Structure 1
Amino acid sequence: MSTRRKPAFNGQPTPLTSAMPSGSIRTTPAARPPFFPTRLEAQLLAIYPITLLMGSIFSTLSPASRNAPYNAVSQSHEPAFAPSYFAHKKNVFNVYFVKLGWFWTTAAFGVFLALWPGLGKGLSVKRIRATLRYSAITLWWVFVTQWFFGPPLIDRGFRFTGGQCEMLRDPNAREDMSETREYFTGAACKAVGGSWKGGHDISGHVFLLILGSSLLWFEFLPALTTVEGLRDGRRILLEDGKVASVAVEKDPETDKDVPTTQGVKFSLGVAALMWWMLLMTAAYFHTWFEKFTGLLVAFAGLWVVYFLPRGNPKIRAVLGMPGV
């Protein structure tokens, strides 16, 4: 017979083990490994490869996209022949939303962190752990796109696959680049008039949009799954080696008469716009393989922060889990 334990409604979480709080726990046979997503999470994550596939199919079948010249260096259609407003790199959504994507992710997360009552009052354990998860995901974004003890991982991967910075403005300067091009990032190369070409360029837009929107979804999904019918137990490994199923439960004391949308609407809007821009990126920018690797790199960071702790009590004691 399975056993079930409920939280104490005194403002503090009841520990599942000596290191982890929870809302509801049921020990069950391990039908699904702890590291795997729930049915609801799997459906959510499946949206991303389906979106990339939809965009790629559209770009292949659309006459406007097929007839528009594509520049492999800029990973986009030539501006003069762009098949859509969203195919222009300077469209307002790309310039003020995607290019500032982590700012919008941070703003949406901050609103949710401040307003969602399910995180408790003040500097609660849940709020601290949510901040740590956000910090871990942000660190992965920094490593991949901004800095990794030098050039970011995207630029390191580009050079590892044979890419380099080729000077375009001064033929004589091209010879000087032979010794120093390895230290250039893509941004630095373009700043000196060079062309970043020759290697595999992971789609930074796909990576950012999937990572940012998934962060928001995983954090506010428990706020939505308090609704009956949306609850979906996550399997975790306890310190004694047993596998348990833990689900979000509504706290009748702290959540009474609180709408489930409080603190969620803005985050949901940002996540939805990120999905739309992911579809536009899939339709008009980058090759299929560049988009696919952007997806994989984003999923790698998400798995470490949101799935690895389920099977590792020590990591879970630090990062916790959304909603518990």
Structure 2
Amino acid sequence: MATRRKPSPTNSTLLTAGMPSGTVRPLTSSGRRSPFLPTRLEAQLLAIYPLTLLLGSIFSTLSPATRSAPYSVTLQSHPTEFAPSYFAQKKNVFNVYFVKVGWFWATVAFAVFVTFHPSFGSGASTRRVRALLRYGVVTTWWWIVTQWFFGPPLIDRGFRFTGGQCEMLKDPGARDEMSNTREYITAATCKAVGGTWKGGHDISGHVFLLILGSALLWFEFLPALTHVEELRDGRLITLPDGKVASVAVEKELVKVEGAATARGVKFALGVAAMMWWMLLMTAAYFHTWFEKFTGLLVAFAGLWTVYFLPRGVPQIRAWLGMPGV
């Protein structure tokens, strides 16, 4: 008697997942994992961030210079005259010209990579458009958290929700009258009128920005690097019919070559590496552990929404796609 074969996904089914059929592989034992979870390589990458925060905190605890230097909870740093290191000063050149405008550098690095890397093809290719959409969603999350969200950004809203407020310190005579004011509802406007933003939980904006910006770059160019190094990718996706399949970087991607392409990858790598170094400095000299931890969580929330949620939701993946496919 002939054995009945189980129906297999057709090419049309795979194409409706929003991907070329050549990128989808038959499900292997890795199918026990959820499409919403990172691969082993991605998990190792993401683990760098909490480990960096932990390493910086351990250093600040064990370093004699850091332990002996006064720390201001209001300033969220060591006062300048007692700073144990050049990197512990808020006005150090890397903080002023790199971290405080960190999203500008992340944007430039992303633009160079998307412009010059040959895997995106020429002109307004589908891959390039989807990469720009992913960047747009991540940038929107950065804007909502740190810049504006129908008024104050989420960081300032969270600060006020946990009891924080602006205390006017510039005029000592007016301090008693203004100590309970809540009309200066953002950190920026409070500082602009000479006040001090204090009293609540302040999510570390630096930690949030540095993790979000560097991980954006890593997730976008990691498929290109894994292709060059011939490493297995192993990402899983949910197809429109509910089945789970494995997807990887296409083998027919053009070979990385030429000075322009090298600049695209190397510049993005350089910006990501610099962001990691400043994350380590932030972990060592600025903010409390809990403030840094919440900055990590808020950044991870945005990254998961853009780079992991689409793997399990075909409707979202049809718009945002996945890096490298």
How far is 1:159 from its partner? 0.4
- State yes or no: 1:28 paired with 2:30: no
Q: Cα 1:5–1:274, aligned 2, differ >3 Å: closer, same or farther?
A: farther
Q: Which residue is equivalent to 1:199?
A: 200
The whole-number CA distance in structure 1 between the counterparts of 2:256 and 2:131 is: 24
Deviations 1:167-186 (A, max 9, x none): 1122336535745x255200
Asked if the contact 1:51/1:282 (under 8 Å) is kept, the reply is: yes
Q: Which residue is equivalent to 2:14?
A: 16
For residue 78 of structure 2, what is the amino acid of its counterpart?
A: H
Q: Which residue is equivalent to 2:257?
A: 258
Asked if the contact 1:68/1:77 (under 8 Å) is kept, the reply is: yes
Identity between Structure 1 and Structure 2 (%):
72
- State yes or no: 1:175 paired with 2:177: yes
Asked if the contact 1:157/1:200 (under 8 Å) is kept, the reply is: yes
The whole-number CA distance in structure 2 between the counterparts of 1:248 and 1:232 is: 7
How far is 1:263 from its partner? 1.6
- State yes or no: 1:158 paired with 2:159: yes
The whole-number CA distance in structure 2 between the counterparts of 1:257 and 1:279 is: 31
- State yes or no: 1:97 paired with 2:98: yes
- State yes or no: 1:67 paired with 2:68: yes
Q: Which residue is equivalent to 1:189?
A: 190
**Matches for 1:1-324 after TM superposition, within 5 Å:** 16-22=14-20, 23-28=22-27, 30-170=31-171, 171-172=173-174, 175-176=177-178, 178=180, 181-251=182-252, 255-256=254-255, 258=257, 261=262, 263-324=264-325
How far is 1:5 from its partner? 9.6
In structure 1, the gaps of 5 or more residues are 7-13
Asked if the contact 1:5/1:24 (under 8 Å) is kept, the reply is: no
The whole-number CA distance in structure 1 between the counterparts of 2:61 and 2:7 is: 52
Deviations 1:19-49 (A, max 9, x none): 4124521131631000000000000000000
Question: How many residues are matched?
Answer: 314
Deviations 1:68-94 (A, max 9, x none): 000111100111111111001111100
The whole-number CA distance in structure 2 between the counterparts of 1:119 and 1:16 is: 21
In structure 2, the gaps of 5 or more residues are 1-5
Asked if the contact 2:167/2:175 (under 8 Å) is kept, the reply is: no
For residue 144 of structure 1, what is the amino acid of its counterpart?
A: V
3-state DSSP class of the match of 2:32? coil
How far is 1:16 from its partner? 3.0
For residue 27 of structure 1, what is the amino acid of its counterpart?
A: P
Q: Cα 1:158–1:257, aligned 2, differ >3 Å: closer, same or farther?
A: closer
How far is 1:258 from its partner? 3.1
Asked if the contact 1:166/1:177 (under 8 Å) is kept, the reply is: yes
Q: Cα 1:281–1:123, aligned 2, differ >3 Å: closer, same or farther?
A: same
Q: Cα 1:294–1:95, aligned 2, differ >3 Å: closer, same or farther?
A: same
Asked if the contact 1:151/1:183 (under 8 Å) is kept, the reply is: no
The whole-number CA distance in structure 1 between the counterparts of 2:151 and 2:101 is: 22
3-state DSSP class of the match of 1:250? coil
How far is 1:2 from its partner? 11
Q: Which residue is equivalent to 2:3?
A: none
- The structure with the largest helix share of the pair is 2
Q: Cα 1:88–1:183, aligned 2, differ >3 Å: closer, same or farther?
A: closer
- Root-mean-square deviation (CA), in Å? 2.1
How far is 1:112 from its partner? 0.3
Deviations 1:210-249 (A, max 9, x none): 0000000000001101135422110000001000010112
The whole-number CA distance in structure 1 between the counterparts of 2:223 and 2:133 is: 17
Asked if the contact 1:15/1:21 (under 8 Å) is kept, the reply is: no
The whole-number CA distance in structure 1 between the counterparts of 2:232 and 2:10 is: 16
How far is 1:129 from its partner? 0.2
3-state DSSP class of the match of 2:247? strand
3-state DSSP class of the match of 1:244? strand
3-state DSSP class of the match of 1:123? coil
The whole-number CA distance in structure 2 between the counterparts of 1:147 and 1:64 is: 38
The whole-number CA distance in structure 1 between the counterparts of 2:145 and 2:109 is: 21
Q: Cα 1:115–1:70, aligned 2, differ >3 Å: closer, same or farther?
A: same
Asked if the contact 1:26/1:245 (under 8 Å) is kept, the reply is: yes
